[in-house]
């Protein structure tokens, strides 16, 4: 009976039917099957359905049973970030880095949080740490295996759950990660009104984007800066005309 319910839940997860899988997973949980991997699956289902409060609750329960899994900590940080629990999100992402320093996206996420709350010095510090880790990985010729990096929870566990529904939210392409972090440094300059410095970072970011990538943030900001510059030129010209005609 347990195996059949478990297999049914796995099939639903593979099909992306998280709402249908959730009652089965909760029934297993009510049967007092206290496994971190089950709590993780429930938390992910709640996350996919947009219920961040319950997602956080089950992910935290999962971490209490397995505090040494970096990817589990990352997903918890993601949920806390989305739910605007910034302090808890930073703590979770710091745990990720402590457990798995090569998870470069965690440095970026901490920087994003500090950017969002206006602590731009702290944001820049974490972005630079992320760039430093990328430089280290490149200098050492470290190859990050995608299965290890993204699907650390994949495979058979105590309940035999697999996680085909784990979205690849962060690339293992170091050049693209560098482009993303460089763009976010540009955003910090942009928010400070340092538009020349911001433009420089956005231009560097554009040059780093691998061919075929759909990442468009730096191009968007460059267009916005160009439109801003054009607007100020027109405004300056109209003022001159007004002064001449007066």
Question: What is the tens place of the pLDDT at every residue in 1-40?
Answer: 666 887 888 788 778 888 999 999 999 888 777 788 889 8
Q: Is residue 118 part of a domain?
A: no
Q: Is residue 85 part of a domain?
A: yes
How far is CA 5 from each of CA 31, 187, 221, rounded to the nearest angstrom?
A: 12, 48, 49
Picking from 99, 185, 104, 162, the residue whose alpha carbon sits closest to that of residue 138 is 104
pLDDT at 142: 67
Q: Is residue 181 part of a domain?
A: no
Q: Is residue 229 part of a domain?
A: no
Q: Is residue 29 part of a domain?
A: yes
Q: Is residue 217 part of a domain?
A: no
**Residues in the chain, pLDDT under 70:** 1-3, 142-172, 231-246
Q: In which domain, by residue range, is 58 found? A: 2-102+144-172
Q: Domain containing 12 — which CATH number?
A: 1.25.40.10
pLDDT at 163: 39
Domain count of the fold of the chain: 1
Q: Is residue 114 part of a domain?
A: no
pLDDT at 52: 96
CB burial of residue 109 (10 Å; 0-12, 13-18, 19+): buried
Q: Is residue 60 part of a domain?
A: yes
DSSP string computed for the chain: -HHHHHHHHHHHHHTT-HHHHHHHHHHHHHTT---HHHHHHHHHHHHHTT-HHHHHHHHHHHHHH-TT-HHHHHHHHHHHHHTT-HHHHHHHHHHHHHH-TT-HHHHHHHHHHHHHTT-HHHHHHHHHHHHHHHHHHHHTTPPPPHHHHH-TT-S--TT----TT----S---HHHHHHHHHHHHHHHHHHTT-HHHHHHHHHHHHHHSPTT----HHHHHHHHHHHHHHHHHHHHHHHHHHHHH-
């Amino acid at each position: 009976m347990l195996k059949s319910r478990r297999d049914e839940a796995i099939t639903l997860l593979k099909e992306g039917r998280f709402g249908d899988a959730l009652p089965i997973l909760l029934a297993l949980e009510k049967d007092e099957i206290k496994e971190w991997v089950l709590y993780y699956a429930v938390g992910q289902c709640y996350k996919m359905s947009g219920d961040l409060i319950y997602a956080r609750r089950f992910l935290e329960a999962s971490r209490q049973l397995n505090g040494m899994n970096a990817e589990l900590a990352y997903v918890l940080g993601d949920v806390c970030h989305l739910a605007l629990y910034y302090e808890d999100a930073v703590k979770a992402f710091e745990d990720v880095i402590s457990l798995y320093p090569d998870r470069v996206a965690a440095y970026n996420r901490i920087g994003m949080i500090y950017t969002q709350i206006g602590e731009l010095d702290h944001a820049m510090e974490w972005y630079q740490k992320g760039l430093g880790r990328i430089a280290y990985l490149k200098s050492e010729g470290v190859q990050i295996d995608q299965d290890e990096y993204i699907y650390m929870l994949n495979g058979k566990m105590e309940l035999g759950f697999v996680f085909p529904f784990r979205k690849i939210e962060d690339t293992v392409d170091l050049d693209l990660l560098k482009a993303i972090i460089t763009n976010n440094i540009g955003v910090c300059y942009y928010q400070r009104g340092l538009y020349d410095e911001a433009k420089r970072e956005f231009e560097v970011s554009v040059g780093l984007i691998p061919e075929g990538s759909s990442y468009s943030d730096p191009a968007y900001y460059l267009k916005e800066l160009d439109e801003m510059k054009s607007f100020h030129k027109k405004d300056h010209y109209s003022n001159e005309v007004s002064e001449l005609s007066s």
